[in-house]
Amino acid sequence: MPDTSPPGSVVNPRRPDLRLPVGSCDTHCHVFGPPDRFPYAPDANYTPHAAPIESLESLWDLLGFDRAVIVQSTVHGTDHAAAVDALRRGVGRYRGVAIIRPDTPDDEVARLHDEGFRGARLHFMPHLGTTPPSPEDIAAVVDKVQPYNWHISLHLAGTGIVDYQDLVRSLPGRVVIDHMARVNLSQGTETPEVHTLLKLLELENVWVKLSGADRLAVHPPSMQDSAEYAALLARHAPDRVVWGTDHPHPNTHGYMPDDGDLVDTLATVAPTEADLQRLLVDNPTRLFDFDR
């Protein structure tokens, strides 16, 4: 298979030491192209190497995942063709998180639901070239997906979890905070951002993805600090946490993680078999509406 990994990525990740339970789900990953079949959006603000579904499936075989959630990337904008193709290959083993706009036709949302999409992602990340959605736009997106019981996924960073905490509290239905809110761990976990996330996780509709350990690590390649932060969140809301690789790690600068190392951080995050089962199997089954 040709090298389809992003520049600087770990081309041949190692097999993790940790054995995952049957039915484990990688709840955050992306497909890119291949661009000759699924062109990137004309206004995409970066151009990754292709990361087709075939390379992801090889990775999941190595790591031990049976299910996955494919998150639509801004590289493909609102053209979900690559993700839909991937979901069809999974025949029920994969789910999707879409990018929905206020002007997305209602019949398109219905079509995506039928294909296996179960969430809509909102970006509050200026580096992705997108303006944070207005309250009116957010309300329009929520109205479009609420009939299908989709969750709303929020991509925040820095002080974002503090800045948008009122938004999180106001949203109906389930809210998923991506990548542990991408807080700055250089000051540890006794910070307003971590305290705010912990407080929000006391709400019964708020979930968090314990993904992005490599992005949060203060002294990579060690990810012990971010793994311990993930463990803190998992202990705080054990029934509303899920985990993902974030493969192929788009917009990673400097340190590129080995996905085998990422999986092995789960020994810290979910130290018992019951913890692993809940994090990787039971919680994703509920959140993403997988068949039991």
List the catalytic residues: 246
Query: Token pair of 96, please?
Result: 């999707």
- In three-state form (DSSP H/G/I as H, E/B as E, the rest C), the secondary structure along 113-135 is HHHCEEEEEEECCHHHCCCCCCH
Q: Which long-range contacts (CB under 8 A, 24 or more apart) does 224-227 make?
A: 224/268, 225/185, 226/180, 226/185, 226/265, 227/265, 227/268, 227/269
Query: Token pair of 113, please?
Result: 């639901």
Beta bridge pairs of residue 265: none
Query: Token pair of 115, please?
Result: 């294909």
Beta bridge pairs of residue 67: 25
Q: Which residues contact 147 (CB under 8 A, 6 or more apart)?
A: none
Query: Token pair of 83, please?
Result: 């993700």
